[in-house]
Chain A
Amino acid sequence: MKRLSRRRFLTGSGAIAGAALLPGESRAAVGAAPPSYDDAIAVLYDATRCIGCRSCVRACRSFNELPPEEREIEGVAFDVPTRLSEDNWTVIQLYRQEGSDGQPAGADPRWSFVKKNCMHCNVPACVSVCPVAALQKTDAGAVVYYEDRCIGCRYCMLACPYQVPRYQWVDRMPRVRKCNWNRACVKACPVGALQEGSRAEMIAEAHRRIDESPQRYVDHVYGEHEAGGASYLILAGVSHAKLGLPSLPTRLRSTYAEPILKSIPGLIIGLGLFLGGLYRMEGRRRAVEAEREERAGKETGP
């Protein structure tokens, strides 16, 4: 257990204020280095290999028994999920720069597919904010949801920096919905754009690909360091920001709340002592006053 230092207690909020102003690299000043989950299972998605066939999306649907998002196009119904929703736990989106059609990825990186789903963060904001541990990070790397615990406060939705968790809004017993790391999608991919292995292996593999063909990739493994790292890693030929992936500091977001919560025991003890002391001082003054009054009463009395 970490000892609550006097300075920490006194400057609780000041320390947080200071921490927020530090650049991303100095996260060590705020909390311990994030766990690496090196041996946990990670999935590497290579956007430059993806052909946008959506086999992964279909596999996810059938594995998790999720209904399709149907839309009719010329009288024929298609399953066309466009963004994450209570029934779309993973989606394939296409980024296209104005005026570019049909060139293959790699040759001219002006367009790219991107597969979106829960990142399964190493230190997930959703897990850290959930008041009843309805979201938990397993040792295998997955961030899983236990509906029997959930109270439906939806704080997880607001805290996730990738805005992943979705809600069953029109439901009498609503649940939070998101990818639960079954990885049915990985097995379904026909071209090896999705690959799974230990996190250390996948990160090494990603860097190997970048080193081998630097002209094909943006030199960044998304999910290696973002907000403390994740189990879902994304390689792309187009900058990740263009694909709608937020650029996040390496520093853990959960560390913002941590010093505040850690200052609470000190606050309780300190405030308790302070109030108790004040009350006793007050009581003594009252006693003195009462005595004086009494004496005054005796003197003027019969």
Chain B
Amino acid sequence: MTTTSPQVPTIRLLFSVLVLIAVSLGVYRFYAGLGAATNLNDAFPWGLWIGFDMLCGVALAAGGFVLAGTVHIFGLKKYEPFVRPAIVTALLGYVLAIIGLLMDLGRPWAIWHPITMWQPHSVMFEVAWCVMLYTTVLFLEFLPVVFERLKLVRALRAIRRVMIVFIMMGIILSTMHQSSLGSLFVMMGHRLHGLWFTPMLPVLFLISAVAVGVAMVIFEGLLSGVIFGHRYPARLLGDLAQSLPPILGIYLGLRLMDLNARGALGLLVENSFESWAFIVENLVGAFIPGTLLLSARIRYDRSKLFWCVLAVIAGVVMNRLNVSLVGMMASSPTGYIPSWMEVLITAGVIAGGLLVLSVMIQTLPIRRTPERA
């Protein structure tokens, strides 16, 4: 039962146009410089490409390590059908984050420097290594899909034997990378608004990444059911969603404890743009979906589940944008709104990712559980 929705070719065409626009704008960005293409300035050095492409791209890719761990380490084999899509999504997420990074770096041709020029006191150094290593690991985790397609039986058997090592490395690297993106902002107490600035940022980033990883897998499962016609049983999706309320609960609890410990609870009611951004982020993105998903009636209903996981995803996206952009506004005399070129390049990068994903779903054995060797 794999009937592809009739709109697919049209959407693909639209996405291709977006990619083409982004490519030409990308050329302009390298020709004319960052300042010409973006609204970044000395008072606001990081913008949409770091806040969205990098922070959100990596967070939304968390499904890869969460599912691989759940199935292969914790042994919950019934979720096996989700592993491959999750790893493919993660690989794409990372490639997109790297493209965003190449756009954003002032000297992208020097991107390899952290390999030889070490400065291990820098969180950014850790981030750079995690990106490199984890993208490699993701690629290795993805290889069996290709081998299976090409019927390379011997290679397939060989890689299966060492796969568990890659999976463990992937989990360790992801834990480091997700949290280190939060640690980046631990140095910015003088810039970041008190609602978001906390030395706990690495822990919060990690927990919210786990939550959004699960949410993304469910979201994708539901969506690809509609678009490509291979549906996952609602039972399985709902069971997976059961993990969300406790994760979100711990997350919210930690945030409140942290606000309280820093004496920052008062900031919640200061009725500023920041306080409302914080409230919406946590209410819509964590509290409401976390509570709703406690109910089995909602969990096992495809469309209700869809809205809940969408809220979780939106919540994490809001969180990353709040930390990197909204929370930085007050301390910057100029403020920042992304330029249309920044927005279109980001849109093109996302469209490119979805395009590749849709082609991969149709041509590679991603939706199939791997045959037992």
Contact = CB atoms under 8 A, between A and B. Distances in A.
**Do A and B actually bind?**
yes
Interface of A: 13, 16-17, 19-21, 84-86, 125, 128-134, 149-155, 157-159, 161, 163, 166-175, 246, 248, 253-254, 256-258, 260-261, 264, 267-268, 271-272, 275-276, 278-279, 282, 285-286
Given A131-B128, A169-B40, A285-B75, A154 B45 contact: yes
B261 interface: yes
A172 B41 contact: no
Nearest to B106: A152
- 3 closest A-B pairs by beta carbon, nearest first, are A152-B106, A169-B35, A131-B124
B78 to A, nearest CB: 14
19 contacts: A13-B199, A13-B203, A17-B261, A132-B125, A151-B108, A152-B110, A157-B42, A158-B46, A167-B34, A171-B33, A253-B190, A256-B186, A260-B179, A260-B183, A260-B199, A267-B176, A275-B172, A278-B73, A282-B73
Nearest to A174: B106
A246 B189 CA distance: 13
Interface stretch (B113-121, B137-145, B267-275, B350-358): B113-121
B107 A151 contact: yes
Given A129-B123, A130-B124, A133-B118, A170 B176 contact: no
A256 B199 contact: yes
B164 interface: yes
Given A20-B198, A163-B43, 6 more contacts: A16-B199, A131-B124, A158-B45, A267-B175, A267-B176, A279-B164
B42 A257 contact: no
Contacts of B188: 158-159
Contact of B124 (A84, A86, A155, A276): A155
Nearest to A285: B75
A170 B35 contact: yes
A155 B35 CA distance: 17
B123 A154 contact: no
Given A170-B33, A276-B168, A132 B42 contact: no
A151 B113 contact: yes
Interface residues of B, number: 62
Contact of A159 (B74, B168, B187, B261): B187
Contacts of A155: 122, 124, 184, 187
A261 B42 CA distance: 28
A155 B46 CA distance: 8
B69 to A, nearest CB: 8
Contacts of B30: 172
A254 B120 CA distance: 13
Interface centre among A155, A170, A173, A254 (most CB of B within 10 A): A155
Nearest to B32: A170
Contacts of B168: 272, 275-276, 279
A131 B35 contact: no
